[in-house]
Amino acid sequence: MDRRLLLGLRFALLAGVLLAAVGAAGHAASALGAHVLGGTWLTTTLGPTGYVLLAHPRSVTSRLRNAVVGHGTAVLAGLAALAIFGLWSARSVAETHQETLPQVGAQAVAVAVTLLVLTLADAHHAPAGATALLVASGIARPGPPLIGLLVGLAIVLAVAPLLARLPGERHDTATMDAEETPMG
């Protein structure tokens, strides 16, 4: 069987197990009435985070420090942007199906601040940009949505490094064939 196919199947299986575990844990918590732990645990920021941790385990962006600093900074930047732009109680872009100019500003500022802090801290973790957008857009607003995002992230950050160490080829996709350039 082709090496790429085997590697892709490994990544697919690991990512599927990881994200299914987060979703199932969130569902179980909700069914048990643990609403204090938030609403949806399986958010869009977990896909890119899981991908980076599973497919590029030796990458600088996969370091636990970078992921924690990245997502932590993104959450704080998103919350600050909501406050600065007066959007703390505003309906999310998912509810309104469009963005107001203050929401656009909040999202832009949240991602910009996240990138600035991660660069200064030398803690690059690209998926943190998705977290900044989720919070600043109001989708992961303060309260259960944000708590759910944080619980889901905690599970991914705890479990993905363990899954990446399971037996099998641990070949970063960036080194498969050719040298990467800034644009691919």
At 97-147, the pLDDT tens digits run: 999 999 999 999 999 999 999 999 999 999 999 999 999 999 998 888 899
Given a cut of 90, whether residue 170 has pLDDT beyond it is: no
**pLDDT band at 33; cut points 50, 70, 90:** confident
Instruction: Identify how many contiguous H helices and E strands the chain contains and give both numbers.
Output: 7, 0
In this predicted structure, what is the pLDDT of residue 57?
A: 87
In this predicted structure, what is the pLDDT of residue 36?
A: 64
Q: Mean pLDDT lowest for which of 7-16, 56-65, 162-171?
A: 162-171
The continuous run of DSSP H or E covering 142 comes out as none
In this predicted structure, what is the pLDDT of residue 183?
A: 44
Summary mean pLDDT of the chain: 87
C-alpha distances out from residue 95 to 44, 89, 106, Å: 16, 13, 17
Are 26 and 145 within 8 A, CB to CB? no
Q: Write the CB contacts of 139 (distance below 8 Å, at least 6 apart in sequence).
A: 43, 92, 93, 94, 145
Region 17-37: what's the mean pLDDT?
84
Higher pLDDT, 114 or 184: 114
